[in-house]
Structure formats: C-alpha cells, structure tokens
Copies of this chain bind each other. A is one copy, B any other.
C-alpha cells in the first residue's frame, strides 16, 4: 500500500481531501508521468532480480525466474495509466499487487516451477488513445500492430500533458518517452502460462453487500463508436427552427434516445466525448462528432442496441433539416469491439480456492458468503490475454463503486486481501 501511493507521485491529479494521498490521478498513457512511473517500475523489478523486457507497444514484462527455463511464466498484469480524472487504484493496484507478490516470494525464498511475471500493459484505459486494452490486444494478435501504432490521441482529453501541436500517434508517443521496445508484441514472443489480474470492482456490488472478494468469471461485451453528425452551419439569430439542420440538436436527441433504448434491453450506452463545430455562440453547429460506448452482458444484446440506435439516429437526422431539404446525416465508425468473455475454469478455480483461504481467518461465522462470483462491467487486459492463455481476475470492493473519478478508493485491508489472493492463485496455478 505504501508503494501504491509512492507510485502515485507521478501524475497526481485532482485533490479531493486534505490527506497526503487524497488526490486523484492524471497519468495519461505515454505521458511524461507515465514514463517516470515506468522507469520506477523497471528499476524496482530489477532490484527484485527480475528480467525486464519492453515490447513494441511499450508493454513492460518483468519475470522472476522459476526452476524450469522451458516453461513460460505465470503473469500478474494490469496497467499504470489512468483516466484524465482517474483515481489511485484502477490498474495501479494490479501492478503494485504484482510487485508485492514478487517481494513476498523473494522474502520467503519461494521457488516456483515456471517463472512469475508482472506486466504493465500500455494504454489500457483507452483515454488518451481511444482503444482500450489496445496493447494486450496487439500481444494477443487481435489488433494489428500497425493499426495500434498509427492510432491518434484524442484531442479533447482535458489538460493532456503534451505540448505537441499535431496529435501524437501511439508510435510517436512511444518513441518520445523511449518506450518503443525491440521485442515483437505478441504472445508468441512473450508467452505466458496464465494471466491473473487483481482490480477494484469499479461497481457497487461487493461494497454494498459487505463482501470482500469477487471471483470474476466473465466480462460484459462492449463496442466503441465514433459518430459524426453533419448538418449545416447557420445563424442562430435569423434561422427559424424549421430552417435548421442543427447537428448539435440532432446529437442531443440521439443521446436521450440512446439511454432509452439501452435501458430497455438491460444495457448501457454512454457518450464521453462530444465536439461541436465551428464552436461559436451564434452559429448553429454544422458538425458534431461524439463517442458512443455501448455495453451489455451479452454480445448479441449490444448488437441489438446498436441496430436499434442506427435506425433511431437515422430518423432523428432525417427529421432535422427536412424543412430545407437538407437533412442531417449521421456516420458511424466502429473503433473497438470487445465481445463478452468467459474466463478459464482452471484460473477461476485457483482464484476461488485462494479467496476462500484468505477470508477464512475473517471474524465472521460463514466466511463463504464474503466471496462471490461476479461479471466485470469494465474491460481489462485480461480480456485479451484470455484469448491466448488461461486467465481470470479478482475484484476487491471500492468506495461507493466509484471509479474513473479522483475519489476512487479502496481500503489498505482490501488491497492487501487482493494481493494475498493473487499470490495464492499464482502459486496454486504453478503447482497444477
């Protein structure tokens, strides 16, 4: 826990309280602050006698060797980047728990069959470069390297700590901070026996039920889109509503409709980014671009929401500007598609057994109820590792289920529980 806050000195974000650690985080992927924490992570792992490699996506792998050199290491992974208004736990906890595991193993002199590794995946958040989990996606060979390298940063991210006039690509940003590694980014070059990840839940289920550990069995589906609405610039003072093709008014109706449709199917639909052009008080915006994030427990449900919204948005666009025979148009671009995932039974079993063992000393009569299985609402690098190697995750509770917010918080006890569970899970998996 000390290390966790120590690592947060690089990229401290919005202050929300008086305590020394009462700030959020603003450590966008591949920023100068991200470089600093990576440098610290590598030095820490070298000091712990790990072998460190960096691949072409800047993923950092640190391996504590095992008895056998011929089998791949079991990895603990997560990410050190954050949202622009992020907290101190999302991702950071997972990497720091990995460091704790290695320290503990060293302290105990524990030998393992295969090695045990810790990996910091690049740009998991998708906040600076708008594809989440992109670098584990390249590693899994689900996303082409060139596509990732050419991906441009989002211009609207608040206080982006980069002074470049043209938006950086992932490749130029990797080069800038010296993290464009030589190792090919692939599960073939950096193989893993398994991948475990501990993370704050980012939702309210554990905390509101007073439960201590979530055994994550699945991850819901999501799709990210960039939409463009094209209308016509015109004067706000002289143009009757019937004579407008107001791209922003069309957007507003679309956003309202998106919640209706998603709700009706037990899904989510959210807009995080919106840009209206030309951006002048007295010009009706002729162009609006926005992000749309659709999620649901099943891949097919997300597809259904998308289909209904395509129809609904077309109708909204067609109505706005019909009066002048110049209706708005709407264009969709799919940026990222993450189907629903089920984790590996073997890994889930290891986590389940470990979680029960860790909570067994809790002063509660029936400790089994302190552990529950859970589906993740958020995406994680484990989604992509699961395409190639056995994978599962561990959730711990967080205050109010709040995440992607400076006040994101988990107690030191809960963080320690997460670290203990993942340590045991790795050891159990290694012994299988």
Binding site for B on A (CB under 8 A): 83-85, 125-127, 130, 132, 154, 156-158, 163, 165, 201-204, 220, 222, 224, 232-241, 243, 246, 248-249, 251-253, 255-256, 259, 262-263, 268, 270-274, 276-286, 291, 293, 295, 324, 335, 376-379, 400-406
Tell me whether B270 and A284 are in contact (CB under 8 A): yes
Judge whether B236 and A295 touch: CB under 8 Å. yes
Q: Which residues of B contact A158 (CB under 8 A)?
A: 277-279
**Could you pull out 14 A-B pairs where Cβ atoms are within 8 angstroms?**
A85-B283, A126-B281, A203-B238, A237-B377, A238-B376, A248-B271, A248-B274, A249-B259, A252-B256, A253-B256, A270-B282, A270-B284, A280-B404, A281-B291
Which of these, B127, B271, B405, contacts A234 with CB under 8 Å?
B405
CB of B83 within 8 A of CB of A278, answer yes
What distance in Å separates the Cβ of A227 from its nearest Cβ neighbour in chain B? 12
**Smallest CB separation, A97 vs chain B (Å):** 20
Decide if A405 touches B286 in the complex (CB within 8 Å).
yes
A238 partner, pick from B237, B377, B406, beta carbons under 8 A: B377
* Contact A272 to B268, CB < 8 A, known contacts A255-B248, A402-B234, A403-B234: no
Decide if B239 touches A401 in the complex (CB within 8 Å). Answer: yes
CB of A362, distance to nearest CB on chain B (Å)? 25
Q: In the complex the two chains form, what is the Cα distance from A235 to B286 in whole Å?
A: 30
Tell me the bound Cα distance from A278 to B268 in angstroms: 19
Residue contact A202 to B238, C-beta cutoff 8 Å: yes
| Bound CA span A86–B330, Å | 23
Known: A83-B278, A84-B279, A84-B283; 15 extra A-B contacts, CB below 8 A, are A127-B280, A130-B281, A154-B279, A154-B280, A156-B276, A157-B280, A158-B279, A235-B378, A238-B403, A239-B377, A252-B255, A256-B256, A273-B279, A281-B335, A286-B405
**A127 nearest in chain B by CB position:** B280
Chain B residues contacting A154 (CB-CB under 8 Å) are 279-281
Is A280 a contact of B84 with CB atoms below 8 Å? yes
Known: A233-B85, A237-B222. A404 touches B283 (CB 8 A): yes
Q: Are A282 and B243 in contact (CB under 8 A)?
A: no
The 9 A-B residue pairs with the shortest CB-CB distance in the complex, in nearest-first order: A238-B377, A156-B279, A236-B270, A252-B255, A84-B278, A203-B238, A127-B280, A252-B252, A202-B238
- Tell me whether B274 and A276 are in contact (CB under 8 A): yes
Distance, CA A259 to CA B283, complexed state (A): 15
Are B281 and A273 in touch, CB under 8 angstroms? yes
Contact: A405 with B255, CB < 8 Å? no
Instruction: Indicate if the CB atoms of B248 and A279 lie closer than 8 Å.
Output: no
Nearest Cβ on chain B to A288's Cβ, whole angstroms = 9
Assuming the contacts A236-B272, A377-B238, asked whether A255 and B249 have C-beta atoms less than 8 A apart, the reply is yes
> Complex: how many Å from CA A224 to CA B271?
26
Of residues A154, A239, A243, which shows the largest number of chain B Cβ atoms within 10 Å of its Cβ?
A239
Docked Cα-Cα span, A132 to B224, in Å, equals 39
Whether A273 pairs with B263 at a CB distance below 8 angstroms is no
Contact, CB under 8 Å: A235 / B280: no
Q: How far is the CB of A148 from chain B (nearest CB, A)?
A: 16
Q: Which residues of B contact A293 (CB under 8 A)?
A: 236-237, 281-282
Residues of B within 8 A of A256 (CB): 249, 252-253, 256
Cβ–Cβ < 8 Å partners of A201 in chain B: 238
Q: A295-B236, A403-B238 are in contact. Are A272 and B263 (CB under 8 A)?
A: no
Assembled-state Cα–Cα distance A163/B163 (Å): 12
Nearest chain B CB to A274's CB is how many angstroms away? 5
Complex Cα distance, B282 from A273, in Å, reads: 9
Contact of B272 with A404 in the complex, beta carbons under 8 Å: no
